[in-house]
């Protein structure tokens, strides 16, 4: 077994996960470990099984075989609701925002603060949004208020809103699925800064991105998924981004990450 | 947090306005209330035209007494308020005219008014729920589903009554819904104000309303964030059905006669009021205030046309034009606000 985090108990461990959809084998004996307060980058080609693996973590799919443990305790039947209750939050590619609605309504989407009769605590939610804007989002412009519509914000800011929302609701593990896709360089920078904010807030993150530079930059550890299997993993402190790219290239050409020496974790 | 120094962000929508606080405030006001301001402005313009064209009508209080009785129920202003919920949720309901008839028929079939009122509201809610169920469960676009339901329930009432009407009787419910306060203000008006007040609270200060906006704005996002979107969508149809039954009974008691075709002319003015009030056909945006004002504008069109000595046949032409123009204005506004 590998030692991904500095902590004895890992936040999440998936071992020997297999999942088929009819004839299609999406995952076969895949492993994924996320340490406490660790940012794990997930790399792999389209169709390698990243999405399926993530959907197993969020309880959307159930594995045919394999074990899932959360803080050292096995999870028998993980449902979407259960995953949420545990503190697994996905920030979707589509960003799950409502463009025409105000910032505060987006932050509290589906989890509005209400009285027992369902009356909204509008003032409280606005104040809380204001606090997030200052502390996490750093929206310092006068033009942006809790009443500003999310649709008027830039791509990176919208990612920030989605991440701030997850952090606000005490997420333990935030999953970012291609958060920089379609974003300009500046907006990508902002998004990566928000990912660092997750680390600074003491939470863990699974970061999926096609861009190896982005992954290498923010992740503590990179896990490579290939054809449904965990092909290997690297601590980003121990491998340069050029090396990592070389390995990925090698994987694409030969089906193996072993193009050189760096320690490949066994599975 | 991460110690990052970000450049001030988010100034994009109104660059250059930041320096002047008055300009900023005005800008913010119009971005938030632009459509409502437009609705009020238009109401003022139309009133001015009518008042200049026929001061003896529009500067006399009788017309307002008349509008206060016709706009809330006969012109189904109350339904326009609940239809606003439906449209904000990204749906449409065209069946409310028939639900008015169903509700009234149930009311008339009960030997007792109080009981009849409750039964009718329940029936209206039931038909609305059925609309919502068909739309949500079978994924049928509400436009089509409610056209079907409009014909079906309208037909049921015609068959059930044998197309024979009946006179209504007085009593507590009749006074409650259609009495005259101080002999001048029709009870329909306080009812519409009460509906507007409660529905405003429901839309803006209650979880249900928050979810209505979210569902209409981006249903997928709302669902991913845990909003029970199916329930919300069924809820708006149920709400609209209930209001339709209420309006049907009230307009019938006002007319002292139950026409089995009650509500058959309600569709155009009601839908027109919702869109004229600035509610977006694409969902996610709309206000009770806008619909309230627009319902009176729409209600004033017919008497206005007649007071200007034009033939009443123009009414329909103007309703249609109002709907199309309102949608074009909205579209232009949206283009400016979002891009």
Quick: pLDDT tens for B22-54: 777 777 777 677 777 888 888 898 899 899 989
The span from the CA of A33 to the CA of A201, in Å, is 20
Region for residue A180 given its phi and psi (left: phi exceeds 0; alpha: psi -120 to 50; beta: otherwise) = alpha
Going residue by residue through chain B (339 aa), what tens digit of pLDDT does each one get? 333 333 344 334 444 444 577 777 777 777 677 777 888 888 898 899 899 989 988 998 889 988 998 899 888 899 999 999 999 999 999 999 999 999 999 999 999 999 999 999 999 999 999 999 999 999 999 999 999 999 999 999 999 999 888 998 888 999 899 989 888 889 999 999 999 999 999 999 999 999 999 999 999 889 888 899 999 999 999 999 999 999 999 999 999 999 999 988 888 899 999 998 989 889 999 999 999 999 999 999 888 888 888 877 888 888 888 888 888 887 777 655 543
B23/A contact by beta carbon, under 8 A: no
Q: Which residue has the tokens 């987006």?
A: A106
Task: Write the residue in B8, B226, B285 that is nearest to A100 by C-beta.
Answer: B285
Residues in A closer than 8 angstroms to B12, CB to CB, are 152-154
CB-based contacts of A67, cutoff 8 Å, min separation 6: A13, A14, A15, A16, A74
- CB contact under 8 Å between A120 and B207, yes or no, is yes
pLDDT at A140 over 80: no
Task: Write the residue in A97, A105, A197 that is nearest to B2 by C-beta.
Answer: A197
Q: What is the mean pLDDT of residues A205-220?
A: 91
CB-based contacts of A146, cutoff 8 Å, min separation 6: A102, A103, A104, A125, A126, A129, A130, A133
Nearest CA in chain A to B19: A142
Among B310, B242, B302, smallest CA distance to B102 is for B242
Question: In 3-state terms, what secondary structure has residue B165?
Answer: coil
Give the per-residue pLDDT at B315. 82
Banded pLDDT at A76 (limits 50, 70, 90): confident
Give the per-residue pLDDT at A183. 83
Banded pLDDT at A2 (limits 50, 70, 90): very low
A12-96+156-254: which CATH topology?
Answer: Rossmann fold (3.40.50)
Banded pLDDT at A267 (limits 50, 70, 90): very low
The span from the CA of B194 to the CA of B175, in Å, is 16
Task: Write the residue in A109, A141, A156 that is nearest to B225 by C-beta.
Answer: A109
Does the model's ipTM exceed the 0.90 cut?
no
Residues in A closer than 8 angstroms to B6, CB to CB, are 138, 140, 190, 193
Secondary structure in 3-state letters for B237-304: HHHHHHHHHHHHHHHHHHHCEECCCCCCCCHHHHHHHHHHCCCCCCCCCCCHHHHHHHHHHHHHHHHH
pLDDT tens, residue by residue, B120-168: 999 999 999 999 999 999 999 999 999 999 999 999 999 999 988 899 8
CATH of B37-338, one of 3.90.550, 1.10.3470, 3.30.420, 3.40.50: 1.10.3470
- CB contact under 8 Å between B13 and A147, yes or no, is no
Nearest CA in chain A to B229: A110
% of chain A with per-residue pLDDT over 90: 32
B89/A contact by beta carbon, under 8 A: no
Q: What is the largest CA-CA distance in chain B?
A: 78
Give the per-residue pLDDT at B7. 38
Residue ranges of the domains in chain A? 12-96+156-254, 101-148
| Cβ–Cβ < 8 Å for A4, A13 | no
Nearest CA in chain A to B206: A119
Region for residue A174 given its phi and psi (left: phi exceeds 0; alpha: psi -120 to 50; beta: otherwise) = beta
Torsion angle in degrees (nearest 10) through CA of B250, B254, B259, B261:
-60
């Amino acid at each position: 077994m590998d030692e991904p985090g500095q902590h004895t108990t890992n936040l999440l461990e998936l071992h020997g996960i297999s999942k088929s959809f009819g004839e299609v084998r999406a995952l076969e004996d895949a492993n994924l470990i996320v340490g406490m307060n660790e940012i794990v980058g997930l790399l792999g080609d389209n169709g390698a099984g990243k999405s399926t693996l993530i959907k197993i973590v969020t309880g959307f799919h159930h594995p045919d075989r394999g074990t899932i443990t959360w803080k050292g305790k096995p999870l028998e039947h993980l449902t979407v609701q259960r995953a949420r209750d545990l503190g697994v939050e996905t920030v979707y590619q589509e960003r799950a925002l409502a463009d025409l609605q105000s910032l505060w309504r987006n932050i509290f989407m589906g989890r509005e603060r209400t009285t027992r009769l369902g009356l909204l605590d509008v003032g409280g939610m606005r104040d809380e949004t204001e606090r997030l804007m200052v502390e996490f989002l750093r929206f310092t412009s006068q033009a942006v208020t809790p009443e500003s519509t999310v649709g008027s914000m830039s791509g990176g800011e919208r990612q920030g809103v989605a991440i701030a929302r997850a952090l606000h609701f005490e997420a333990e593990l935030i999953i970012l699925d291609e958060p920089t896709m379609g974003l300009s360089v500046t907006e990508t920078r902002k998004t990566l800064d928000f990912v660092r904010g997750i680390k600074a807030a003491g939470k863990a993150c699974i970061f999926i991105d096609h861009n190896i530079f982005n992954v290498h930059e923010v992740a503590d550890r990179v896990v490579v998924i290939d054809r449904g299997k965990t092909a290997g993993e690297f601590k980003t402190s121990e491998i340069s981004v050029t090396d990592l790219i070389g390995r990925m290239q090698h994987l694409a050409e030969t089906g193996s990450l072993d193009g050189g020496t760096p320690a490949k974790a066994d599975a | 947090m991460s110690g990052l120094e970000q450049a001030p962000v988010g100034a994009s929508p109104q660059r250059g306005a930041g320096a002047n606080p008055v300009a900023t405030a005005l800008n913010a006001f119009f971005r938030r209330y632009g459509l409502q301001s437009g609705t009020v402005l238009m109401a003022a313009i139309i009133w001015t035209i009518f008042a200049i064209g026929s001061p003896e009508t529009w500067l006399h209080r009788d017309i307002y007494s008349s509008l206060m009785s016709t706009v809330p129920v006969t012109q189904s202003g109350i339904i326009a308020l609940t239809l606003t919920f439906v449209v904000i949720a990204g749906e449409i309901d065209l069946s409310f005219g028939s639900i008015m008839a169903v509700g009234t028929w149930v009311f008339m079939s009960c030997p007792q008014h109080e009981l009849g009122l409750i039964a009718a509201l329940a029936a209206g809610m039931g038909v609305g729920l059925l609309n919502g169920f068909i739309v949500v469960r079978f994924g049928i676009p509400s436009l089509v589903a409610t056209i079907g339901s409009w014909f079906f329930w309208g037909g049921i009432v015609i068959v059930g009554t044998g197309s024979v009407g009946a006179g209504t009787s007085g009593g507590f419910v009749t006074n409650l819904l259609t009495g005259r306060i101080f002999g001048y203000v029709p009870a329909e008006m306080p009812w519409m104000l009460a509906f507007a007040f409660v529905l405003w609270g429901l839309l803006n200060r209650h979880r249900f309303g928050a979810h209505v906006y979210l569902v209409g704005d981006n249903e997928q996002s709302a669902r991913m964030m845990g909003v029970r979107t199916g329930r919300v969508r069924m809820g708006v149809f149920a709400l609209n059905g209930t209001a339709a039954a209420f309006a049907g009974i009230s307009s019938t008691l006002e007319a002292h006669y139950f026409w089995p075709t009650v509500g058959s002319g309600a569709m155009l003015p009601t839908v027109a009021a919702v869109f004229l009030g600035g509610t977006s056909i694409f969902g996610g945006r709309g206000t009770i205030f806008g619909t309230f004002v627009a319902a009176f504008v729409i209600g004033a069109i017919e008497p206005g046309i007649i007071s200007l000595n034009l033939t009443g046949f123009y009414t329909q032409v103007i309703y249609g034009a109002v709907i199309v123009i309102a949608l074009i204005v909205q579209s232009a506004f949206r283009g400016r606000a979002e891009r």
